[in-house]
Homo-oligomer: A and B are copies of this chain.
Amino acid sequence: MIIVMREGASRREIDEVQEEIKRMGYTPHPIIGVERTVIGAIGDERDKARLQELETAPGVERVIPILKPYKLAGLELKKEKSLVAVGRDAVFGGKRIPVIAGPCSVESHEQICRTAEAVKAAGATLLRGGAYKPRTSPYAFQGLEEEGLKMLAAARDCTGLPVVTEVMKESVLDLVARYADVLQIGARNMQNFDLLKAVGQLRKPILLKRGLANTVREWLMSAEYIMAQGNMQVILCERGIRTFETATRNTLDLSAISVLRRETHLPVVVDPSHATGVAAYVESMTLAAVAAGADGIMIEVHPNPHEAWSDGAQSLTPAAFAGVMGKAKAVAAAVGREI
């Protein structure tokens, strides 16, 4: 920590801050500047959240942390990229880029099976589908729940594709975990810390979506919540952040991939469907994500988008999805990856 004293802080204030630092178990190290004094506090920074409280001490202007607050998610303890394997074929974090595809909501046995077969034929390696749906309106369709999970499992049986589905609450966690190969934590639950702790108890991969208004740093702290419980199989998923621009549903932050690469060993998936909210923009953002270094792609596909029960506007038809996959393979090859 660096404690910056106000200009004109008195000798006594400076001394008291140093005393306080010592009381907390750290070593103060003052630098007397031309206009201002700053004090370094030496010791293990990760245990010293309380040093931050020195900001309220007399004469202190601000306190600047130096170390990253995440240990398990950060590169300091583990430098090589993590691999998260799902089923026999999909590995997130390797040379090959898994593609997760499927409808926003599971609607019927036929819908999910048809979609699963179509996306598999086009090269997808995992199937997505929502059985529990976070909807802004209480009057909107909330998902088929366990019935939907069973349909997903049936679609997995037919196609061999592992299944990714969202869990929104602890009370159905065991149930969802019984059916799902990967559990998704949605954007709105990125800081539902109790849910994070609960999925941290599992030994299954967790797809952790970035919150709409969360920084990369907060996102990694949420990954840390899961990992601190012992579950190291965390896959991050960038899905757009909220900005002033309304031409797209959210603003896809592809530079987050590079930022994450310097901060964490965890793999990063990109979801261009939720980010843009517009089917016509999905292809372009998929190709960009692959070029930017994404370790996975998640795309919404529906056999008949304008009859979808949710998010039809952003879903691709199976034919459009196959077209995107063809182009994505070419871009992947150009950057030394495979799809």
Listed in ascending order, the chain A residues whose CB lies under 8 Å from chain B are: 2, 4, 7, 29, 31-36, 38, 40, 42-47, 49-50, 52-57, 64, 66-67, 69, 76, 134-141, 168-171, 188-189, 191-195, 197, 211-213, 215-218, 221, 224-225, 228, 241-248, 251-259, 261-262, 275-276, 278-281, 284-285, 287-293, 305-309, 312-313, 315, 327, 330-331, 333-335
Q: Please name all residues of chain B whose beta carbon is closer than 8 Å to the beta carbon of A197 when the two chains form the complex.
A: 138
Is there an interface contact between B215 and A212, defined as CB atoms closer than 8 Å?
no
Is there an interface contact between A244 and B215, defined as CB atoms closer than 8 Å?
yes
Q: Please name all residues of chain B whose beta carbon is closer than 8 Å to the beta carbon of A169 when the two chains form the complex.
A: 170, 192, 194-195
Complex Cα gap A194–B76 (Å):
37
Q: Please name all residues of chain B whose beta carbon is closer than 8 Å to the beta carbon of A29 when the two chains form the complex.
A: 31
Is there an interface contact between A308 and B53, defined as CB atoms closer than 8 Å?
yes
Is there an interface contact between B221 and A137, defined as CB atoms closer than 8 Å?
yes
Residue of B nearest to A290 (CB): B291
Is there an interface contact between B290 and A216, defined as CB atoms closer than 8 Å?
no
Q: Please name all residues of chain B whose beta carbon is closer than 8 Å to the beta carbon of A290 when the two chains form the complex.
A: 291
Q: Please name all residues of chain B whose beta carbon is closer than 8 Å to the beta carbon of A140 when the two chains form the complex.
A: 49
Residue of B nearest to A261 (CB): B284
Most B Cβ at <10 Å: residue of A7, A244, A246: A244
27 contacts between A and B (CB under 8 A): A2-B64, A31-B31, A33-B66, A34-B44, A34-B45, A50-B309, A53-B313, A55-B312, A56-B305, A56-B312, A69-B136, A136-B218, A138-B224, A138-B225, A212-B213, A243-B244, A247-B255, A251-B255, A258-B280, A258-B281, A261-B284, A262-B280, A288-B288, A288-B289, A327-B334, A331-B334, A331-B335
